[in-house]
Amino acid sequence: MLQKIVIIGAGPAGLLLAHYLLRRGKYDVEIYEQRSDPGLVNGSPERTFPISLQERGRKAIRSIAGLEEAIAAASVFCNGTKMYRQSGKTREIPRSVPILTIDRNRLATILLEHLTKTYSGEKLKVKFGCQCLQVDRKAKTVMLQPAQGEAFTLTYDRLVAADGARSRIREYLAQDAGLHCEQSYVSDAYKTVMLPRFNPALGLELEADKLHAWNLNKTRMMMVPQPGDRLNGVIIFDAQQNPLAELSSKEEVLAFFKAKFPLVGQLMSLDEAEALLQRPVARLVTVSCDRFYEGDSILVIGDAAHAVSPSIGQGCNAALEDVLIFEQFLAQYQDDWAQALPAFSAQRVPEAHALRELSDYSLPPTKILRIEFIFRLMTGKLLHKWFPQWVTPSIFDLLQDENLSYSQVLSLSQGWINKVKRSRSQIS
């Protein structure tokens, strides 16, 4: 008799884990997701954003036949970042290894399509528009609320909390099972921005193989080329000083971008300004837990276990890496979850804490440190080659090396992290 795994959350972590579990041939999987079926609503643009995946995340995907190719086909590879300054000047930071970027919802859709193509409805059930409301770990049940109709209760053998930064299951474990968890809001908030990459009337075109970044005091933008000559990205701002809050018409939105981010303003149509106006502001939450499991039957994974600020673009890479590592423990302990869960947690909790430290303190808060940061980005690798005992590569170069754990990256970058911390404490 196969074990029944219930996964809550059809994000990258939940969907990739379903692939790995089904491949083992010992499980039936049911996935419940509160959002609508992306196949029916054509990928809601309300809260999506581009994700960059490095070797750390890609090697987890590669292990499932055909998946990496399918994801690469829907991605854009960028070989550098173009930074636009207020003066109108630009600076380019090249990358020796091009970075894969893909829209978060597109990534989830491909993981799902591949899953439903590979496994029959007997082994795999996926239900959208269905929110997990409650868990009872002693009875091994979850209560779910479909978009229409009555809530229902379901039994499980194992339950996976892949329900993201605001995880309902994690909240339940904190209240009922003594899980220690800190959850805090990052000061930044964001809105999704979508644009064409060209404006033929103005002869304007942003490069298709670069990330495009603007930094205007406390408001930043990052726009990433997408297949089909689009740019997806975000405008990020201090949640207490939302520069868009007072804008009430599409004309005002367009005027704001023309004044503050002129290139973006030249690419934005009034329809796009209207859509941006209607989109919700998203707050970012970080999460830090003392363990990623409960007993022998509940696993907490991905953002539900360790959401971090997107500053260094690692959350999804870490979520996918979780899946790879959890499966290695399942294989090592012959699918005995009572052993695999604590072993996974013991290895990943310190990694998650190191990732949090890196995400919180890698980016420079002052102009002087920003200059040093860019200098390190541009020269760190080369200088490290010449003077390995004196110069370490930049944090971003270290993160590219999937053989280094987050704790090792932190230990190698401790000097810079301490500098950023000191500078932050002087500002506040």
Ligand X SMILES: Cc1cc2nc3c(=O)[nH]c(=O)nc-3n(C[C@H](O)[C@H](O)[C@H](O)COP(=O)(O)OP(=O)(O)OC[C@H]3O[C@@H](n4cnc5c(N)ncnc54)[C@H](O)[C@@H]3O)c2cc1C
| Binding-site ranges for ligand X (CB under 6 A) | 8-14, 32-35, 49, 51-52, 104, 131-132, 162-164, 168, 190, 234, 284, 302-303, 310, 313-317, 319
**Do 78 and 337 meet the contact criterion of CB atoms below 8 Å apart?**
no
**Percent helix, strand and coil across the chain, each rounded to 5?**
45, 30, 30
**Of all helices (H) and strands (E), which one includes residue 256?**
helix 250-260
**Position 76, amino acid:** V
Taking the C-alpha atoms of residue 163 and residue 230, their distance in angstroms, rounded to an integer, is 29
CB of residue 317 to ligand X, shortest distance in Å? 4
Nearer to ligand X, 250 or 314 (CB): 314
CB of residue 402 to ligand X, shortest distance in Å? 13
Taking the C-alpha atoms of residue 426 and residue 428, their distance in angstroms, rounded to an integer, is 6
Nearer to ligand X, 187 or 266 (CB): 187
Nearer to ligand X, 11 or 380 (CB): 11
Nearer to ligand X, 74 or 383 (CB): 74
CB of residue 136 to ligand X, shortest distance in Å? 15
Residue corresponding to tokens 């795999």: 124
| b/e map 35-71, b = 16+ CB within 10 Å | beebeeeeeeeeebbbbbbbbbbbebbeebeebbebb
CB of residue 144 to ligand X, shortest distance in Å? 7
Nearer to ligand X, 153 or 418 (CB): 153
The residues that bridge with 194 in the sheet, in sequence order, are: 232
The residues that bridge with 192 in the sheet, in sequence order, are: 234
Taking the C-alpha atoms of residue 348 and residue 350, their distance in angstroms, rounded to an integer, is 6
CB of residue 157 to ligand X, shortest distance in Å? 19
How many beta carbons lie within 10 A of that of residue 255, not counting itself?
14
CB of residue 50 to ligand X, shortest distance in Å? 7
Nearer to ligand X, 83 or 255 (CB): 83
Q: Which two tokens stand for residue 114?
A: 């591949």
CB of residue 395 to ligand X, shortest distance in Å? 14
**Position 273, amino acid:** A
**Number of residue whose CB is nearest ligand X:** 11
Nearer to ligand X, 330 or 399 (CB): 399
